Amino acid sequence: MLTLNALYRRGAPVAAALKPVGAVEPTEGPRGGRPRAAVVGAGHVGAVAAQRLAESDLFDEVVLVDVVPGLAAGIALDLWHSAGLARFSTKLRGADDLDAINGVDYVIVTAGKPRKPGMSRTDLTAANAAIVGPVAERIAQVAPNSVIVVVTNPLEEMTHLAAVRSGFPPERVLGMAGVLDSARFRALVGLTGVARPDEVRAFALGSHGPEMVIPLSQAFAGGKPLTQLLDAATLDAIVERTRDSGAEVVKLLQTGSAYFAPGQSAALMVIAMASGSDEVLACAVEPHGEYGLSGTRVGLPVRLGRHGLREIVELPLTAAEMSALREAAARLGERIREVG
């Protein structure tokens, strides 16, 4: 029998009544009226995403999965140690097998190789397709009613691949890109002093890369158009820096890529679905005629619902913005067809 004193020893087993990690058998569907979420890939992005999900206290359980033995379980236990500090009751569990996500409602996929300095997102296509494809197939087997949020780069191509390999309907496979890029734009606007980042409303559409489109006609700060608060040259520079922000972080880190903002962006999408938020977010989705687009995956403004994409929101873009968005969608369509 495990004594109370034994709990104090480093590496000691955890008493059954206290086991938040590794001891709870997976169950079908939400327990206690709250949904369950999983994060596949327990690297930096996955760890941050799991932390934000747990701290929202919307979920009964968050499961982390990683192929590295002990990594996901260690992070899950470490996060659980912060439950009293962050005031959440979400259980955390780590595993090295996708069977552990049996019956979850939401799955964030961060598994894949990160960019290194000098690499573009598309340089990762073949390597990450070999990871995302099998992961999506397994998700479909063990969590057939879940919604998948893809974070792995190249984002749009991997989102398409996850949809094809899982067999899920398009509204249940979403790409995390626009939330992150919109946040980066808002943060950079905040550096000008015209408003706090959380007072800026703007959307990064198109691709998570060179075809990114930020319609300035739909960008506001404190209810005022940004075009009235900042000159054209400043806005153009902010848009360009937003487009290159991921590479900027990679260059500075030298041995990794961004993870705080990407992890929080992925978690925000899942939280929006679980909470029934009516907020408009930019996500990579498959359009069916909206904005005159189809046959691709592209960043568009959307509202999310309990079971994924609820609606694509059509904003009154200018002719130039619409043209740029359609050009981005066309280029993405070409790359997606190459993935197959």
| Of 175, 167, 226, 168, residue with least CA distance to 200 | 226
| Of 127, 107, 93, residue with least CA distance to 40 | 107
Q: Which of 160, 208, 288, 307 is catalytic?
A: 208
Q: Which residues make Cβ contacts (< 8 Å) with residue 143, sequence separation at least 6?
A: 38, 101, 102, 103, 104, 105, 107
| Of 49, 282, 303, residue with least CA distance to 152 | 49
Residue 141 C-alpha from the chain's centroid: 22
Neighbours of 122 (CB within 10 A): 15
Residue 299 C-alpha from the chain's centroid: 13
C-alpha span between 77 and 246 (Å, rounded) = 30
Query: 93-120 b/e with 16+ CB inside 10 Å = b?
Result: bbbbebebbbbbbbbbbbbbbbbeeeee
Between the CA of residue 57 and those of 131, 147, 326, what are the distances in Å? 30, 19, 39
Q: Which residue type, as a one-letter code, is found at position 216? A: L
Between the CA of residue 11 and those of 7, 14, 77, 99, 282, what are the distances in Å? 9, 9, 12, 25, 43
Q: Tokens in use for 116?
A: 């290194």
Q: Tokens in use for 313?
A: 């929101």
C-alpha span between 155 and 122 (Å, rounded) = 9
Is 44 catalytic? The answer is no
Give the residue numbers marked as catalytic.
208
